[in-house]
Amino acid sequence: MAPGPTKKDLLLKSAKVLFSEHGYSETTFKKISERAGVALGLLTHHFGSKEKLFLAAGLDVVRELVDCLRDNLRDDHSGLEGVRIFASTYFDFARDPDRAFMVLVRCSPFSDLKTTEDKEVMFRNFSELYDILTGSIRRGVADGSIRPCDPQKMSVVVFCNLVGAIRHGLLTPYGDETLFGDVVDFIVAGLRND
């Protein structure tokens, strides 16, 4: 029988849920320790500060998303299909309540982190998402499924659409159940080499 989660794991999971539900400023060490059923002092022992815990929570969500994207993009496909898979996976992951993606939506890891070192760590990890998307776009330009473009610049444009749709779809009353599929279709149509 596999061992259960460690107290550190319980604290991190509780932090991700609470940061997702309440944002950075409304999430306290006390709330996290109570939700995890773990002594308050262990938070400081394992993470040092609220900011370090927030960084760990955000990095954990990004790592899970990167793993999910890599798994879904493993099979052979055109670059354009890779972009479709990337965007669909991103939206599915973001809407899965067990993934705590909202920690990245309710709290900006780039503005809520105070130290340059922490921002650089988060930037490096987020860059992996851009690298995966840029790779699919580069592949699509090479295989002819995507119109000629600068893959790095286009990955930023695509990400703007993804992030905007997530914020709009999850934080406003204006989206409906077709929004995310419509955005994927919009992105693919804009990239397609006709």
Q: How many CB atoms lie within 10 A of CB 165?
A: 22
Question: pLDDT tens digit string along 49-108?
Answer: 888 898 899 899 999 999 999 999 998 789 999 999 999 999 999 999 899 998 888 766
Q: Which domains does the chain have, with CATH numbers?
A: 56-191 (1.10.357.10)
| Residue whose tokens read 């996976």 | 89
Whole-number Å distance between alpha carbons of 145 and 28: 49
d(CA 10, CA 37): 8
Q: In this predicted model, what pLDDT tens digit does every residue of 11-53 receive, in sequence order?
A: 999 999 999 888 888 999 999 999 999 998 988 999 998 888 9
Decide: residue 31, CB within 10 A, 0-12 exposed, 13-18 middle, 19+ buried: middle
